[in-house]
Structure formats: structure tokens, C-alpha cells
Amino acid sequence: MDDSKRISFFGVFVWSLAILFFFYEFFLRIFLGTIAIEIRDSLVLSIRQFSILAAAYYVVYGLMQIPVGILTEKIGTRIVLSAACFICTLGVFIFALATHFYIALIARILIGFGSAFAFVSLLILALNWFPKKYFGFLCGIALFLGAVGPMLAGAPLAYVTELLDGNWRLILYYCGGFGLALTLFLIVFMRSKPSQENQEIIFITPHEPLRHKLVELFHNRQAWLILLCSSFLYCSLPLLAAYFGTSYLQARGFDKTASAFIISMVWVGYAIGNPIIGKFSDRFKRRTPFLASFGFLGCFASIYLLYFSTNNYLILLILFFLIGVASSSQGIAFAMIVEHTPQKLNSAALGLNNAGGMLFAAIFPPLAGVVIQAALSASGKVTATPSEYVAGLSIIPLLYACAGILALVWIEETYGRQQHEIHRLNPSHKASDLL
């Protein structure tokens, strides 16, 4: 493994611009959940229609992930990220002008399409600009900084919405203005790789057909197991934060601002957990024990949240924080899938792993919405109570448990090393130095 790259100021600046776009798309991903009631009332949406509207983002995002890695490597991050940010911004303005379901759906599709380029491009830039030994930590830092977006989409957004008497459209106009400014910065300053000739760059070579590389990736059993584990860990976040969490807490008697603040603790836990877990995983050169233990932590925390009903404010803050920490261990999976695939497949593997999480986030929340709607119809009530939400959200502990079992039983440990490279050991070194 080549760790000869040096960290440069301009490399950090370029990477920071990519993080800023990741922060922007993360905000756009989550804001629907915080102002769900205002949007549903304004556009006259049922719970099922709202679920479809929210899921549209994740479907497009997920389907684009492998093409994203390929396009980014072939075209370059400057063109790709600038165009992607502009498409996101266009979607924001269209959503702000939407008067019915189908216009809003088109807007969410555009936002999902543009957002699809953010995280994979960020990881590719990390591989291109920084030594590989820091990759797990950089994944954590990126997710930490990106999580500021959903934090702002929580209690601060709810507070501003109340100040503006529910005028969510005006808020989106300001978001669109931010997106236009960021697009200009990306056009001017973004660079795909260092200018030095001798730097190692991750790229798709023309010597082997792309079809062969994808076939090789799809036959990598460990890549699929890591994808499943990562997706199970992530899926609970949109279920709670982007879809039903705020409405669920409001049904339990909290007002909008308090509900949004409690939900924001998911992102605080996610933000804090990512760099810390990534750093410790790199330090101890272990991946699977972290994935397994945090999977089971999420299982226990979500069981307590759903089935041991309490309106104790402090306990709810702690539970949502722990759920965020549990999901943050997903960052390790990105480092691990790179370690389990040859270098030529790194970009596609990162895209595949990200696609899994997004597609799961597109599938399970609408299913939960169907269950909630069915439970509501069966009860004959007009508005959902906590019991109807619990019926739909009961999938969360199961998803976490599946992630823990996968990591504990079937995923092979990498010890923080690339499994498809030859590691040379100096005769003076001990065998334990390989670990």
C-alpha cells in the first residue's frame, strides 16, 4: 500500500469544498422530515404520497451510485461536482415553486440525482489527495462534517419555520441561493488530483473492459456482505430522521421544535461517532468487532425507544444519540469494502456500497409508511397515534440486529489492510507487525 502522498493545504481546501457539497445535499436529504406536516398540508399529501416523495430521492441516489464512480473517474470531479451541485439547486427551486405532488416529485428526483455525486466523489478525492492509511479516519471526518447538514435540518429548521409562520418555500429559496454560490466555487477551485506526475491516482484504466470489472465486483462475496451490513446500519437514520421521527414524537405529545431537537441528536451521535470510531478502527486495525458491537447497540437502543414508552426528555435524547452513534459505524464499511476489493475496483465498490444504503432507504421507509397507513385505517382514527408509528418502525431493531450478526459471523476481518496487495515484511520485523 502506497502511503507516499503528502497532505497539502490545497488538497485540504479541495476536499473541504467536496465536504461542503456533501453537507448541502445531506441537508436537502433530511429537511422533509422536519417540516413534513407543513409540506403535507400545503401540497395535500397522504402519508403514502409523502413516503413516495421522500423515497424518490433515495431511489435515484441509489441507482446512480455505480455510474457516479465511473463518471467521476472518467470526467473528473470538477465538472461532475459543479454540474451535480447546479442540478441539486435547480431541484430546490422547483420544489419551492411546487403546487402539487408530481411537481414536487420531479424536484426530489433532480435533488437525488445531483446529490448522488457528493459522497463517492468525496471518497475518491480522499484516495487521490491523502495517504491511504488515513482513509478510515477521513471517512469518519467527512461523515462528521456532512452531518452538520441534517443537524441544521432539525431543530434550527423547525425554529426558523415557526418564525416564518410555516413559510417553508422561502427557506428553500435561501437554500437555492447557497447552492448557486457553492456551484461557482466548485467551478473555480475544484481539482480531481494533485498536479505531481508521481502521485498515485485511483482511476478506471482503459485496458480492461468495464463490464469485466463490474462482473468481478459482483462476484466478490465479501463486498456484498459488507454492503448489506452497511445498509442495515444506515437505513434506520432516514426512517427516523427523514421520514417519521418528528411526526412520531409529535404524536407522543412533543411540539415541533422539541421533536426536531430530539431527532437532531441522531445526527449529533452520527457526527461524533464517525471520526472517533474510524480513528479507533484504524488504530487497532480491526473492523468487524466495531461493526458488530454497534449494530447490537442500535438494536437495544431502538427496542427501548419503541417498546418501553417514556416521555422523559433526557432519556429520549440519549436514545436518539445512541442510535446515531450505532449507525455511524457504517463509515468503517467504506474503508472495509476498499480493503476487500482490488484497487481497480475501488471507485465502483464505494459506489456500490453507497448505493446499497440509499436503495434500502428507498425501500424500507415506504413499506413502513404502508404499515402505518394500514394500522391507521384499521383503527378508524383520523391521525396516527404512537402505536401506529411503532407498528411501522418496528423494522429498525431487526435491521440493526442483522447488521451485528453479519459482522460477527460472515464478514471477514481485514486488519485495516488491502487484501489484494502483496505486503512485504522486513526479516527483522515480527510476524505480529503484519497486524
Q: pLDDT, tens digit, for every residue of 199-210?
A: 444 444 445 666
Q: What is the pLDDT of residue 25?
A: 92
Q: pLDDT grade, residue 431 (50/70/90)? A: very low
When mean pLDDT is compared across 2-6, 293-297, 390-394, 396-400, the lowest value belongs to: 2-6
What is the C-alpha separation between 107 and 232, in angstroms, rounded?
27
Note every long-range contact of 186-189, with CB atoms under 8 Å and residues 24 or more positions apart, other chains counting.
Answer: 186/17, 186/21, 186/78, 186/81, 186/82, 186/85, 187/78, 187/82, 189/13, 189/14, 189/17
Check whether 421 has a pLDDT greater than 70: no
Q: What is the pLDDT of residue 304?
A: 96
What is the C-alpha separation between 136 and 285, in angstroms, rounded?
10
Q: What is the pLDDT of residue 198?
A: 45
Higher pLDDT, 416 or 281: 281
Check whether 182 has a pLDDT greater than 90: yes
Q: What is the pLDDT of residue 269?
A: 92
Domain 9-192+212-420 in CATH 2.120.10.80? The answer is: no
Q: What is the pLDDT of residue 1?
A: 43
Q: What average pLDDT score do residues 402-428 get?
A: 79
DSSP at 434 = G
> Residues with Cβ < 8 Å from 3, sequence gap 6 or more?
131, 132, 133
Mean pLDDT estimate for the chain: 85
- For the beta carbon of residue 13, count every other beta carbon within 10 angstroms: 12
> Residues with Cβ < 8 Å from 409, sequence gap 6 or more?
none
Q: What is the pLDDT of residue 196?
A: 58
Q: pLDDT, tens digit, for every residue of 240-258?
A: 877 888 889 999 999 888 9
Indicate the pTM of the whole model: 0.78
Looking at the chain, the whole-number percentage of residues with pLDDT higher than 70 is 91
Angle subtended at Cα 27 by Cα 306 and Cα 350, rounded to the nearest 5 degrees: 85
When mean pLDDT is compared across 202-216, 265-279, 306-320, 407-421, the lowest value belongs to: 202-216
Q: What is the pLDDT of residue 205?
A: 46
Extents of the domains making up the chain: 9-192+212-420
Q: pLDDT, tens digit, for every residue of 93-144?
A: 999 999 989 999 999 999 999 999 998 788 888 888 788 777 767 777 777 7
Check whether 219 has a pLDDT greater than 70: yes
Q: pLDDT, tens digit, for every residue of 30-55?
A: 888 888 888 988 998 887 888 888 88
Q: pLDDT, tens digit, for every residue of 147-166?
A: 788 888 887 888 888 888 88
Q: pLDDT, tens digit, for every residue of 250-308?
A: 999 998 889 989 998 998 898 888 888 888 998 898 999 999 999 999 999 999 999 98
Q: What is the pLDDT of residue 226?
A: 95
Half-sphere exposure of 183 (CA within 13 A, CB side): 17
Q: What is the pLDDT of residue 103?
A: 95
What is the C-alpha separation between 394 and 312, in angstroms, rounded?
21
What is the C-alpha separation between 300 and 321, in angstroms, rounded?
13
Q: What is the pLDDT of residue 420?
A: 67
Q: Which amino acid would we find at residue 168?
A: W
